[in-house]
Amino acid sequence: MFSRAVLIMIGKGILETLYMTFMSSLLAYIIGLPLGILLVVTDKGGIRPFVTFNRILGVIVNLIRSIPFVILLVALMPFTRAVVGTTLGPNAVVVPLVIGSAPYIARLVESSLKEVDGGVIEAAQSMGASPLQIVFKVMIPEAKPSLIMGGAIAVITILSYSAMAGFVGGGGLGTIAINYGYYRYKTDIMLVTIALMVLIVQGIQEIGLKWMKISDKRL
Amino acid sequence: MDNQEPIIELIGLGKVYDNKNVMVRALENINLTIYEGEIFGIIGLSGAGKSTLVRCINYLERPTEGKVIFNGIDLSTVSEKELLKIRQSMGMIFQQFNLLMQRTALQNICFPMEIAGVPKKEAKKRAYELLEIVGLGDKAKAYPAQLSGGQKQRIAIARALATNPKVLLCDEATSALDPTTTRSILNLLKEINQKMGITIVVITHEMSVIEEICNRVAIVDQSHIAEIGTVEEVFMKPKSKIAKQLVFSGAKHIDIFEGKDKLRIIFDGRTSFEPVIANMVLECKTPVNIMFADTKDIYGKAYGQMIIQLPDDEIGKKRIYAYLEANKIPFEEVI
Protein backbone atom coordinates (compact mmCIF):
# COMPACT_ATOMS: atom_id res chain seq x y z
CA MET A 1 0.00 0.00 0.00
CA PHE A 2 2.78 2.44 0.98
CA SER A 3 6.15 2.64 -0.66
CA ARG A 4 9.23 1.47 1.19
CA ALA A 5 10.34 5.08 1.59
CA VAL A 6 7.09 6.02 3.28
CA LEU A 7 7.27 3.03 5.61
CA ILE A 8 10.82 3.93 6.59
CA MET A 9 9.70 7.50 7.18
CA ILE A 10 6.84 6.36 9.37
CA GLY A 11 9.16 4.03 11.25
CA LYS A 12 11.57 6.88 11.83
CA GLY A 13 8.63 9.03 12.89
CA ILE A 14 7.61 6.52 15.53
CA LEU A 15 11.10 6.37 16.94
CA GLU A 16 11.40 10.16 16.95
CA THR A 17 8.07 10.54 18.67
CA LEU A 18 8.98 8.01 21.33
CA TYR A 19 12.38 9.65 21.78
CA MET A 20 10.89 13.13 22.18
CA THR A 21 8.18 11.92 24.49
CA PHE A 22 10.33 9.88 26.84
CA MET A 23 13.34 12.18 26.83
CA SER A 24 11.12 15.17 27.57
CA SER A 25 9.17 13.25 30.21
CA LEU A 26 12.38 12.25 31.96
CA LEU A 27 13.83 15.75 31.96
CA ALA A 28 10.46 17.32 32.84
CA TYR A 29 10.17 15.00 35.84
CA ILE A 30 13.65 15.95 36.97
CA ILE A 31 12.35 19.51 37.22
CA GLY A 32 8.67 18.89 37.96
CA LEU A 33 9.01 16.31 40.73
CA PRO A 34 11.06 18.53 43.06
CA LEU A 35 8.76 21.46 42.26
CA GLY A 36 5.71 19.36 43.14
CA ILE A 37 7.35 18.26 46.38
CA LEU A 38 8.20 21.88 47.22
CA LEU A 39 4.61 22.93 46.53
CA VAL A 40 3.33 20.39 49.06
CA VAL A 41 6.03 20.79 51.68
CA THR A 42 5.93 24.60 51.80
CA ASP A 43 2.15 24.84 51.65
CA LYS A 44 0.24 26.16 54.63
CA GLY A 45 -0.18 23.09 56.83
CA GLY A 46 2.67 21.33 55.04
CA ILE A 47 5.61 19.82 56.87
CA ARG A 48 7.74 22.97 56.32
CA PRO A 49 5.26 25.81 55.71
CA PHE A 50 6.76 28.75 53.81
CA VAL A 51 3.74 30.52 52.45
CA THR A 52 5.45 33.36 50.56
CA PHE A 53 7.71 30.98 48.66
CA ASN A 54 4.78 28.68 48.01
CA ARG A 55 2.71 31.52 46.54
CA ILE A 56 5.53 32.71 44.26
CA LEU A 57 6.18 29.17 43.07
CA GLY A 58 2.47 28.65 42.48
CA VAL A 59 2.24 31.81 40.39
CA ILE A 60 5.24 30.84 38.24
CA VAL A 61 3.80 27.37 37.69
CA ASN A 62 0.41 28.77 36.70
CA LEU A 63 2.00 31.37 34.48
CA ILE A 64 3.84 28.82 32.37
CA ARG A 65 0.86 26.50 32.36
CA SER A 66 -1.41 29.19 30.99
CA ILE A 67 0.73 29.83 27.92
CA PRO A 68 -0.62 27.74 25.01
CA PHE A 69 2.03 25.23 24.05
CA VAL A 70 2.24 26.34 20.40
CA ILE A 71 3.04 29.88 21.53
CA LEU A 72 5.61 28.61 24.02
CA LEU A 73 7.17 26.53 21.26
CA VAL A 74 7.73 29.61 19.10
CA ALA A 75 8.56 32.01 21.90
CA LEU A 76 11.28 29.72 23.22
CA MET A 77 13.02 29.40 19.85
CA PRO A 78 15.96 31.70 20.67
CA PHE A 79 16.47 29.84 23.92
CA THR A 80 16.18 26.49 22.15
CA ARG A 81 18.76 27.56 19.60
CA ALA A 82 21.09 28.62 22.39
CA VAL A 83 20.72 25.25 24.12
CA VAL A 84 20.74 22.70 21.29
CA GLY A 85 22.01 24.83 18.39
CA THR A 86 18.93 24.42 16.19
CA THR A 87 15.18 24.91 16.24
CA LEU A 88 14.46 21.93 14.03
CA GLY A 89 14.23 18.23 14.77
CA PRO A 90 13.40 16.17 17.85
CA ASN A 91 16.15 17.57 20.07
CA ALA A 92 14.90 21.07 19.49
CA VAL A 93 11.39 20.05 20.54
CA VAL A 94 12.59 18.55 23.78
CA VAL A 95 13.50 21.98 25.15
CA PRO A 96 10.03 23.60 24.96
CA LEU A 97 8.42 20.28 25.85
CA VAL A 98 10.38 20.10 29.09
CA ILE A 99 9.71 23.71 29.99
CA GLY A 100 6.06 23.49 29.01
CA SER A 101 5.30 20.26 30.84
CA ALA A 102 7.42 20.59 34.00
CA PRO A 103 4.89 22.91 35.71
CA TYR A 104 2.09 20.57 34.70
CA ILE A 105 4.00 17.67 36.21
CA ALA A 106 4.62 19.73 39.33
CA ARG A 107 0.85 20.07 39.77
CA LEU A 108 0.26 16.38 39.10
CA VAL A 109 2.89 15.45 41.68
CA GLU A 110 1.44 17.97 44.11
CA SER A 111 -2.03 16.50 43.90
CA SER A 112 -0.71 12.94 44.27
CA LEU A 113 1.33 13.80 47.34
CA LYS A 114 -1.60 15.64 48.89
CA GLU A 115 -3.60 12.42 48.80
CA VAL A 116 -1.29 10.92 51.41
CA ASP A 117 -3.15 10.60 54.70
CA GLY A 118 -2.13 13.38 57.08
CA GLY A 119 -2.32 10.92 59.97
CA VAL A 120 0.46 8.81 58.49
CA ILE A 121 2.65 11.89 58.17
CA GLU A 122 1.83 12.80 61.74
CA ALA A 123 2.79 9.30 62.85
CA ALA A 124 6.14 9.68 61.12
CA GLN A 125 6.62 13.03 62.82
CA SER A 126 5.84 11.45 66.17
CA MET A 127 8.69 9.00 65.51
CA GLY A 128 11.10 11.85 64.99
CA ALA A 129 11.28 11.71 61.19
CA SER A 130 12.89 14.75 59.58
CA PRO A 131 11.07 16.56 56.74
CA LEU A 132 13.41 14.95 54.21
CA GLN A 133 12.69 11.51 55.63
CA ILE A 134 8.97 12.22 55.54
CA VAL A 135 9.18 13.18 51.86
CA PHE A 136 11.26 10.21 50.75
CA LYS A 137 10.14 7.51 53.16
CA VAL A 138 6.49 8.41 53.62
CA MET A 139 5.01 10.77 51.07
CA ILE A 140 6.55 9.43 47.87
CA PRO A 141 6.26 5.69 48.68
CA GLU A 142 2.71 6.12 49.97
CA ALA A 143 1.71 8.14 46.90
CA LYS A 144 3.49 5.79 44.49
CA PRO A 145 0.40 4.34 42.77
CA SER A 146 -1.04 7.80 42.26
CA LEU A 147 2.33 9.13 41.06
CA ILE A 148 2.52 6.32 38.50
CA MET A 149 -0.96 7.13 37.22
CA GLY A 150 -0.03 10.80 37.06
CA GLY A 151 3.10 9.76 35.18
CA ALA A 152 1.04 8.03 32.51
CA ILE A 153 -1.12 11.13 32.13
CA ALA A 154 1.96 13.35 31.89
CA VAL A 155 3.64 11.17 29.26
CA ILE A 156 0.48 11.12 27.15
CA THR A 157 0.15 14.89 27.38
CA ILE A 158 3.79 15.31 26.36
CA LEU A 159 3.17 12.96 23.44
CA SER A 160 0.34 15.11 22.16
CA TYR A 161 2.44 18.28 22.68
CA SER A 162 5.23 16.66 20.68
CA ALA A 163 2.83 16.14 17.80
CA MET A 164 1.99 19.83 17.90
CA ALA A 165 5.66 20.55 17.35
CA GLY A 166 5.14 19.07 13.87
CA PHE A 167 3.96 22.52 12.77
CA VAL A 168 7.41 23.97 13.30
CA GLY A 169 9.35 21.03 11.91
CA GLY A 170 9.81 19.17 15.15
CA GLY A 171 9.94 15.73 13.62
CA GLY A 172 8.16 12.57 14.65
CA LEU A 173 4.66 11.41 13.74
CA GLY A 174 3.25 14.88 14.21
CA THR A 175 5.42 16.31 11.46
CA ILE A 176 4.46 13.49 9.12
CA ALA A 177 0.78 14.01 9.80
CA ILE A 178 1.04 17.72 9.14
CA ASN A 179 3.37 17.58 6.15
CA TYR A 180 1.53 14.79 4.34
CA GLY A 181 -1.96 14.92 5.66
CA TYR A 182 -2.40 18.68 5.96
CA TYR A 183 -0.11 20.21 3.34
CA ARG A 184 -0.26 17.49 0.68
CA TYR A 185 -3.74 16.08 1.26
CA LYS A 186 -2.41 12.51 1.71
CA THR A 187 -5.19 11.45 3.98
CA ASP A 188 -4.07 7.81 4.12
CA ILE A 189 -0.67 8.68 5.62
CA MET A 190 -2.31 11.04 8.07
CA LEU A 191 -4.76 8.36 9.17
CA VAL A 192 -1.94 5.87 9.69
CA THR A 193 0.02 8.29 11.83
CA ILE A 194 -3.07 9.08 13.85
CA ALA A 195 -3.73 5.38 14.34
CA LEU A 196 -0.14 4.91 15.48
CA MET A 197 -0.49 7.76 17.94
CA VAL A 198 -3.66 6.19 19.30
CA LEU A 199 -1.85 2.91 19.77
CA ILE A 200 1.05 4.54 21.58
CA VAL A 201 -1.32 6.46 23.88
CA GLN A 202 -3.29 3.29 24.56
CA GLY A 203 -0.07 1.41 25.33
CA ILE A 204 1.22 4.03 27.75
CA GLN A 205 -2.15 4.18 29.51
CA GLU A 206 -2.31 0.39 29.84
CA ILE A 207 1.24 0.10 31.13
CA GLY A 208 0.58 2.88 33.64
CA LEU A 209 -2.59 1.23 34.88
CA LYS A 210 -1.00 -2.21 35.21
CA TRP A 211 2.04 -0.83 36.96
CA MET A 212 -0.15 1.12 39.35
CA LYS A 213 -2.20 -1.96 40.19
CA ILE A 214 0.89 -4.03 40.85
CA SER A 215 2.46 -1.40 43.06
CA ASP A 216 -0.64 -0.55 45.10
CA LYS A 217 -0.81 -2.64 48.27
CA ARG A 218 -4.13 -1.22 49.42
CA LEU A 219 -6.16 -3.35 47.05
CA MET B 1 4.03 3.60 90.23
CA ASP B 2 6.24 2.85 93.21
CA ASN B 3 9.10 5.10 92.25
CA GLN B 4 7.58 8.53 92.04
CA GLU B 5 9.96 9.83 89.39
CA PRO B 6 8.18 12.31 87.15
CA ILE B 7 8.66 11.53 83.47
CA ILE B 8 6.36 14.14 81.97
CA GLU B 9 5.62 17.46 83.59
CA LEU B 10 3.32 20.04 82.12
CA ILE B 11 3.66 23.42 83.77
CA GLY B 12 1.19 26.21 83.05
CA LEU B 13 0.72 24.80 79.59
CA GLY B 14 -1.46 26.70 77.16
CA LYS B 15 -2.18 26.61 73.46
CA VAL B 16 -3.86 29.27 71.39
CA TYR B 17 -4.47 28.83 67.69
CA ASP B 18 -4.40 31.85 65.47
CA ASN B 19 -7.15 31.05 63.02
CA LYS B 20 -7.18 33.97 60.58
CA ASN B 21 -6.65 36.46 63.39
CA VAL B 22 -9.34 34.86 65.50
CA MET B 23 -7.70 33.43 68.59
CA VAL B 24 -8.97 30.00 69.47
CA ARG B 25 -7.96 28.74 72.85
CA ALA B 26 -7.38 24.99 72.95
CA LEU B 27 -5.67 24.68 76.31
CA GLU B 28 -5.22 26.91 79.32
CA ASN B 29 -3.06 26.58 82.38
CA ILE B 30 -2.58 22.83 82.31
CA ASN B 31 -0.51 21.55 85.21
CA LEU B 32 0.12 17.86 85.23
CA THR B 33 2.77 15.44 86.38
CA ILE B 34 2.95 11.95 85.01
CA TYR B 35 5.16 9.50 86.87
CA GLU B 36 7.38 6.83 85.47
CA GLY B 37 5.68 3.49 85.04
CA GLU B 38 2.11 4.59 85.52
CA ILE B 39 -0.80 4.43 83.13
CA PHE B 40 -2.23 7.90 83.07
CA GLY B 41 -5.60 8.64 81.56
CA ILE B 42 -6.75 11.90 80.05
CA ILE B 43 -10.47 11.96 79.47
CA GLY B 44 -12.76 14.57 78.09
CA LEU B 45 -15.59 15.09 75.68
CA SER B 46 -14.69 15.75 72.07
CA GLY B 47 -13.43 19.25 71.59
CA ALA B 48 -12.26 19.52 75.18
CA GLY B 49 -8.65 19.85 74.07
CA LYS B 50 -7.32 16.44 74.98
CA SER B 51 -5.91 15.68 71.54
CA THR B 52 -4.05 18.97 71.51
CA LEU B 53 -2.82 18.18 75.00
CA VAL B 54 -1.26 14.88 74.00
CA ARG B 55 0.33 16.50 70.95
CA CYS B 56 1.90 19.11 73.17
CA ILE B 57 3.62 16.34 75.11
CA ASN B 58 5.71 15.33 72.10
CA TYR B 59 5.68 18.82 70.63
CA LEU B 60 3.76 17.85 67.52
CA GLU B 61 1.90 20.95 68.64
CA ARG B 62 4.07 23.69 70.03
CA PRO B 63 2.47 25.08 73.18
CA THR B 64 2.06 28.84 73.20
CA GLU B 65 2.42 29.11 76.98
CA GLY B 66 4.10 27.13 79.69
CA LYS B 67 6.52 24.26 79.61
CA VAL B 68 6.71 20.59 78.82
CA ILE B 69 9.40 18.77 80.71
CA PHE B 70 10.14 15.29 79.49
CA ASN B 71 12.62 13.17 81.37
CA GLY B 72 14.08 16.30 82.94
CA ILE B 73 14.44 18.19 79.65
CA ASP B 74 12.49 21.36 78.94
CA LEU B 75 11.37 20.74 75.37
CA SER B 76 11.17 24.45 74.57
CA THR B 77 14.92 24.77 74.99
CA VAL B 78 16.03 21.99 72.66
CA SER B 79 16.96 22.38 69.00
CA GLU B 80 14.85 20.97 66.20
CA LYS B 81 17.34 18.15 65.72
CA GLU B 82 17.38 17.21 69.39
CA LEU B 83 13.59 17.29 69.42
CA LEU B 84 13.46 14.67 66.65
CA LYS B 85 15.82 12.54 68.72
CA ILE B 86 13.68 12.96 71.84
CA ARG B 87 10.55 11.96 69.93
CA GLN B 88 12.16 8.61 69.31
CA SER B 89 11.77 7.92 73.01
CA MET B 90 8.05 8.70 72.87
CA GLY B 91 5.96 6.22 70.94
CA MET B 92 2.52 7.20 69.77
CA ILE B 93 -0.51 5.30 68.55
CA PHE B 94 -3.63 6.72 66.95
CA GLN B 95 -7.33 6.15 66.51
CA GLN B 96 -6.91 5.51 62.78
CA PHE B 97 -3.73 3.43 63.30
CA ASN B 98 -1.86 5.49 60.68
CA LEU B 99 0.10 2.61 59.27
CA LEU B 100 2.01 2.99 56.03
CA MET B 101 -0.35 1.34 53.58
CA GLN B 102 2.34 0.48 51.05
CA ARG B 103 4.50 -1.35 53.56
CA THR B 104 4.08 -4.78 55.11
CA ALA B 105 3.52 -5.18 58.84
CA LEU B 106 7.20 -6.00 59.26
CA GLN B 107 8.32 -2.98 57.23
CA ASN B 108 5.98 -0.78 59.22
CA ILE B 109 7.60 -1.89 62.46
CA CYS B 110 11.04 -1.35 60.92
CA PHE B 111 10.09 2.19 59.89
CA PRO B 112 10.89 4.08 63.12
CA MET B 113 14.16 2.16 63.36
CA GLU B 114 15.02 3.22 59.82
CA ILE B 115 14.47 6.79 60.90
CA ALA B 116 16.58 6.30 63.98
CA GLY B 117 19.35 4.78 61.89
CA VAL B 118 19.23 1.28 63.33
CA PRO B 119 21.09 -1.21 61.05
CA LYS B 120 18.66 -3.10 58.81
CA LYS B 121 19.44 -6.57 60.11
CA GLU B 122 19.10 -5.55 63.72
CA ALA B 123 15.85 -3.72 62.95
CA LYS B 124 14.38 -6.77 61.29
CA LYS B 125 15.27 -8.99 64.23
CA ARG B 126 13.68 -6.56 66.67
CA ALA B 127 10.61 -6.26 64.44
CA TYR B 128 10.09 -10.01 64.52
CA GLU B 129 10.37 -9.98 68.32
CA LEU B 130 7.80 -7.21 68.51
CA LEU B 131 5.44 -9.08 66.21
CA GLU B 132 5.57 -11.96 68.69
CA ILE B 133 4.94 -9.63 71.62
CA VAL B 134 1.80 -8.23 70.01
CA GLY B 135 0.71 -11.73 69.05
CA LEU B 136 0.96 -11.37 65.28
CA GLY B 137 4.05 -13.44 64.56
CA ASP B 138 2.42 -14.86 61.44
CA LYS B 139 1.48 -11.52 59.89
CA ALA B 140 4.95 -10.20 59.08
CA LYS B 141 4.34 -10.15 55.33
CA ALA B 142 0.76 -8.90 55.45
CA TYR B 143 -0.12 -5.43 54.25
CA PRO B 144 -2.31 -3.24 56.49
CA ALA B 145 -5.19 -3.58 54.02
CA GLN B 146 -5.22 -7.31 54.78
CA LEU B 147 -5.48 -6.83 58.55
CA SER B 148 -8.46 -6.18 60.83
CA GLY B 149 -8.72 -3.05 62.95
CA GLY B 150 -7.45 -4.78 66.06
CA GLN B 151 -4.55 -6.31 64.18
CA LYS B 152 -3.66 -2.94 62.67
CA GLN B 153 -3.58 -1.39 66.12
CA ARG B 154 -1.34 -4.23 67.33
CA ILE B 155 1.07 -3.52 64.49
CA ALA B 156 0.91 0.17 65.35
CA ILE B 157 1.74 -0.66 68.97
CA ALA B 158 4.67 -2.83 67.88
CA ARG B 159 5.84 0.02 65.66
CA ALA B 160 5.56 2.53 68.49
CA LEU B 161 7.62 0.25 70.74
CA ALA B 162 10.34 -0.38 68.16
CA THR B 163 12.71 2.31 69.37
CA ASN B 164 12.32 1.33 73.04
CA PRO B 165 10.46 4.46 74.08
CA LYS B 166 10.03 5.52 77.67
CA VAL B 167 6.50 6.70 77.06
CA LEU B 168 3.67 5.47 74.89
CA LEU B 169 1.07 8.08 73.95
CA CYS B 170 -2.29 6.63 72.96
CA ASP B 171 -4.62 9.03 71.19
CA GLU B 172 -8.09 7.46 71.21
CA ALA B 173 -6.34 4.20 70.37
CA THR B 174 -9.43 2.07 70.88
CA SER B 175 -12.14 4.41 69.71
CA ALA B 176 -12.37 2.83 66.26
CA LEU B 177 -12.56 -0.71 67.64
CA ASP B 178 -15.41 -2.89 68.83
CA PRO B 179 -15.74 -3.63 72.59
CA THR B 180 -14.08 -7.07 72.46
CA THR B 181 -11.13 -5.83 70.43
CA THR B 182 -10.90 -2.78 72.66
CA ARG B 183 -10.54 -5.02 75.69
CA SER B 184 -7.83 -7.10 74.05
CA ILE B 185 -5.88 -4.00 73.02
CA LEU B 186 -6.21 -2.57 76.52
CA ASN B 187 -4.95 -5.83 77.97
CA LEU B 188 -1.98 -5.69 75.63
CA LEU B 189 -1.23 -2.13 76.77
CA LYS B 190 -1.48 -3.20 80.39
CA GLU B 191 0.89 -6.08 79.73
CA ILE B 192 3.39 -3.80 78.01
CA ASN B 193 3.21 -1.40 80.93
CA GLN B 194 3.84 -4.16 83.46
CA LYS B 195 6.47 -6.15 81.57
CA MET B 196 8.46 -3.34 80.01
CA GLY B 197 7.77 -0.61 82.53
CA ILE B 198 6.76 1.82 79.83
CA THR B 199 4.74 4.80 80.99
CA ILE B 200 1.48 4.99 79.09
CA VAL B 201 -0.64 8.07 78.52
CA VAL B 202 -4.15 7.22 77.39
CA ILE B 203 -6.37 9.80 75.74
CA THR B 204 -9.99 8.77 75.52
CA HIS B 205 -13.56 9.91 75.73
CA GLU B 206 -14.68 6.60 77.20
CA MET B 207 -14.75 6.14 80.95
CA SER B 208 -14.61 2.38 80.51
CA VAL B 209 -11.11 2.65 79.03
CA ILE B 210 -9.94 4.62 82.05
CA GLU B 211 -11.49 2.09 84.44
CA GLU B 212 -9.92 -0.77 82.63
CA ILE B 213 -6.28 0.26 82.69
CA CYS B 214 -5.48 3.61 84.25
CA ASN B 215 -3.92 4.33 87.62
CA ARG B 216 -4.60 8.04 87.59
CA VAL B 217 -6.80 10.23 85.49
CA ALA B 218 -7.12 13.87 84.51
CA ILE B 219 -10.44 15.15 83.31
CA VAL B 220 -10.19 17.84 80.68
CA ASP B 221 -13.09 20.14 80.10
CA GLN B 222 -13.21 23.32 78.04
CA SER B 223 -9.43 23.65 77.72
CA HIS B 224 -8.85 23.19 81.44
CA ILE B 225 -8.13 20.32 83.77
CA ALA B 226 -11.33 19.96 85.74
CA GLU B 227 -10.16 17.25 88.04
CA ILE B 228 -7.19 15.02 88.60
CA GLY B 229 -6.64 12.07 90.89
CA THR B 230 -6.44 8.32 91.17
CA VAL B 231 -9.11 6.48 89.24
CA GLU B 232 -10.61 5.26 92.53
CA GLU B 233 -10.89 8.79 93.92
CA VAL B 234 -12.48 10.17 90.82
CA PHE B 235 -14.91 7.28 90.61
CA MET B 236 -15.91 7.39 94.21
CA LYS B 237 -16.18 11.08 94.67
CA PRO B 238 -16.25 12.94 91.41
CA LYS B 239 -16.09 16.58 92.41
CA SER B 240 -16.49 18.51 89.18
CA LYS B 241 -19.65 18.59 87.16
CA ILE B 242 -17.94 17.11 84.13
CA ALA B 243 -16.46 14.27 86.20
CA LYS B 244 -19.91 13.42 87.55
CA GLN B 245 -21.26 13.53 84.05
CA LEU B 246 -18.60 11.11 82.84
CA VAL B 247 -18.69 8.77 85.83
CA PHE B 248 -22.45 8.61 86.10
CA SER B 249 -23.01 8.68 82.38
CA GLY B 250 -25.12 5.55 82.65
CA ALA B 251 -27.43 7.16 85.18
CA LYS B 252 -28.80 9.80 82.86
CA HIS B 253 -31.95 7.81 82.47
CA ILE B 254 -32.99 8.03 86.12
CA ASP B 255 -34.81 11.25 85.39
CA ILE B 256 -37.49 9.31 83.65
CA PHE B 257 -38.33 7.32 86.78
CA GLU B 258 -41.29 8.61 88.69
CA GLY B 259 -41.22 9.34 92.36
CA LYS B 260 -39.15 11.35 94.76
CA ASP B 261 -36.86 10.51 97.66
CA LYS B 262 -34.19 8.87 95.62
CA LEU B 263 -30.80 8.07 97.09
CA ARG B 264 -27.56 7.38 95.29
CA ILE B 265 -25.48 4.85 97.18
CA ILE B 266 -21.87 4.86 96.20
CA PHE B 267 -19.80 1.71 96.23
CA ASP B 268 -16.24 2.58 97.02
CA GLY B 269 -14.56 -0.80 96.84
CA ARG B 270 -14.47 -1.12 100.62
CA THR B 271 -18.10 -1.97 100.99
CA SER B 272 -18.62 -3.94 97.87
CA PHE B 273 -18.11 -7.42 99.23
CA GLU B 274 -20.86 -7.22 101.75
CA PRO B 275 -24.46 -7.30 100.63
CA VAL B 276 -25.09 -3.66 101.48
CA ILE B 277 -28.61 -3.26 100.25
CA ALA B 278 -29.81 -6.61 101.52
CA ASN B 279 -28.38 -5.96 104.98
CA MET B 280 -29.92 -2.53 105.02
CA VAL B 281 -33.34 -3.86 104.11
CA LEU B 282 -33.14 -6.60 106.75
CA GLU B 283 -31.89 -4.26 109.45
CA CYS B 284 -34.28 -1.42 108.75
CA LYS B 285 -37.17 -3.74 107.99
CA THR B 286 -38.09 -1.41 105.18
CA PRO B 287 -38.22 -2.40 101.54
CA VAL B 288 -36.54 -0.17 98.99
CA ASN B 289 -36.95 -0.01 95.28
CA ILE B 290 -33.72 -0.38 93.29
CA MET B 291 -34.06 1.88 90.31
CA PHE B 292 -30.60 1.86 88.82
CA ALA B 293 -27.41 -0.02 89.50
CA ASP B 294 -24.04 0.22 87.87
CA THR B 295 -20.94 -1.32 89.33
CA LYS B 296 -17.56 -1.75 87.76
CA ASP B 297 -14.56 -3.81 88.61
CA ILE B 298 -11.43 -1.74 88.97
CA TYR B 299 -8.32 -3.63 89.97
CA GLY B 300 -10.35 -6.29 91.77
CA LYS B 301 -12.50 -3.85 93.69
CA ALA B 302 -16.02 -2.95 92.85
CA TYR B 303 -16.93 0.65 92.33
CA GLY B 304 -20.17 2.08 91.26
CA GLN B 305 -23.48 3.36 92.32
CA MET B 306 -26.98 2.27 92.94
CA ILE B 307 -30.03 4.44 92.97
CA ILE B 308 -32.79 3.40 95.31
CA GLN B 309 -36.18 4.82 96.01
CA LEU B 310 -37.04 5.23 99.67
CA PRO B 311 -40.33 4.17 101.16
CA ASP B 312 -42.96 6.80 101.89
CA ASP B 313 -43.06 6.39 105.64
CA GLU B 314 -40.85 8.84 107.51
CA ILE B 315 -39.68 6.35 110.12
CA GLY B 316 -38.40 3.91 107.53
CA LYS B 317 -36.63 6.71 105.74
CA LYS B 318 -34.91 7.87 108.89
CA ARG B 319 -33.83 4.36 109.70
CA ILE B 320 -32.19 4.02 106.30
CA TYR B 321 -30.37 7.31 106.67
CA ALA B 322 -29.15 6.26 110.08
CA TYR B 323 -28.07 2.87 108.80
CA LEU B 324 -26.06 4.31 105.93
CA GLU B 325 -24.41 6.89 108.17
CA ALA B 326 -23.60 4.33 110.84
CA ASN B 327 -22.01 2.00 108.32
CA LYS B 328 -20.13 4.82 106.61
CA ILE B 329 -21.65 4.07 103.26
CA PRO B 330 -21.36 7.10 101.03
CA PHE B 331 -24.66 8.32 99.69
CA GLU B 332 -26.32 11.41 98.37
CA GLU B 333 -29.81 12.50 97.59
CA VAL B 334 -30.81 12.54 93.98
CA ILE B 335 -32.95 15.43 92.95
Residue A89 lies in a domain: yes
| Chain B residues within 8 A of A215 when measuring between CB atoms | 102
Cβ within 8 Å, pair A119-B96: yes
Is 90 exceeded by the pLDDT of residue A219? no
Cα distance between residue A129 and residue B85, in whole Å = 9
The interface predicted TM-score (ipTM) is 0.88
- What pLDDT, on the 0 to 100 scale, is given for residue B74? 95
Interchain CB contact of A4 with B (< 8 Å): no
Report the run of H or E that residue A16 belongs to, with start and end: helix A4-41
CA nearest B89: which of B193, B172, B198?
B198
Q: What is the pLDDT of residues A118-159, one digit of tens each?
A: 999 999 999 999 999 999 999 999 999 999 999 999 999 999
Q: Do A64 and A103 touch, CB atoms closer than 8 A?
A: yes
Q: What are phi and psi of B174, to 5 degrees?
A: -115, 5
Residue A219 lies in a domain: no
Cβ within 8 Å, pair B92-A138: no
Q: In Å, how far is B221's CA from the nearest CA of chain A? A: 25
- What pLDDT, on the 0 to 100 scale, is given for residue A175? 87
- What pLDDT, on the 0 to 100 scale, is given for residue B43? 93
Q: What is the pLDDT of residues B290-301, one digit of tens each?
A: 887 877 766 666
| DSSP-assigned beta bridge partners for residue B309 | B262, B289
Residue A153 lies in a domain: yes
Q: Do B277 and B306 touch, CB atoms closer than 8 A?
A: yes
Interchain CB contact of A130 with B (< 8 Å): yes
- What pLDDT, on the 0 to 100 scale, is given for residue B1? 46
- What pLDDT, on the 0 to 100 scale, is given for residue B308? 85
Those residues of chain B that have pLDDT short of 70 are 1-3, 249-260, 269-273, 297-301, 335
Residues 6+ apart with CB under 8 A from A116: A138, A139, A142, A143
CA nearest B16: which of B8, B28, B3?
B28
Kindly tell me the sign of the dihedral angle through the C-alpha atoms of B67, B72, B77, B81: negative
| Chain B residues within 8 A of A142 when measuring between CB atoms | 100-102
Residue A218 lies in a domain: no
| DSSP-assigned beta bridge partners for residue B217 | B41, B229
CA-based end-to-end distance of chain A: 48
The CATH code of the domain that includes A197 is: 1.10.3720.10
Total number of domains constituting chain A:
1
Q: Do B127 and B106 touch, CB atoms closer than 8 A?
A: yes
Cα distance between residue B115 and residue B272, in whole Å = 51
Option in A119, A128, A137 nearest B87 (CB): A128
Residue A42 lies in a domain: yes
Cβ within 8 Å, pair B101-A142: yes
Residue A111 lies in a domain: yes
Cβ-in-10-Å burial (0-12, 13-18, 19+) of B326 comes to exposed
Residue A80 lies in a domain: yes
Residues 6+ apart with CB under 8 A from A136: none
Q: What is the pLDDT of residues A162-213, one digit of tens each?
A: 988 888 878 888 888 888 888 888 888 889 999 999 999 999 999 999 999 9
- What pLDDT, on the 0 to 100 scale, is given for residue B189? 96
Interchain CB contact of A51 with B (< 8 Å): no
Question: Which has the higher per-residue pLDDT, B297 or A52?
Answer: A52
| Chain A residues within 8 A of B60 when measuring between CB atoms | 122, 125-126
Cβ within 8 Å, pair B98-A216: no
User: What structural domains does chain B harbor?
Assistant: 6-241 (3.40.50.300), 248-334 (3.30.70.260)
CA nearest B142: which of B97, B108, B173, B98?
B108
Residue A60 lies in a domain: yes
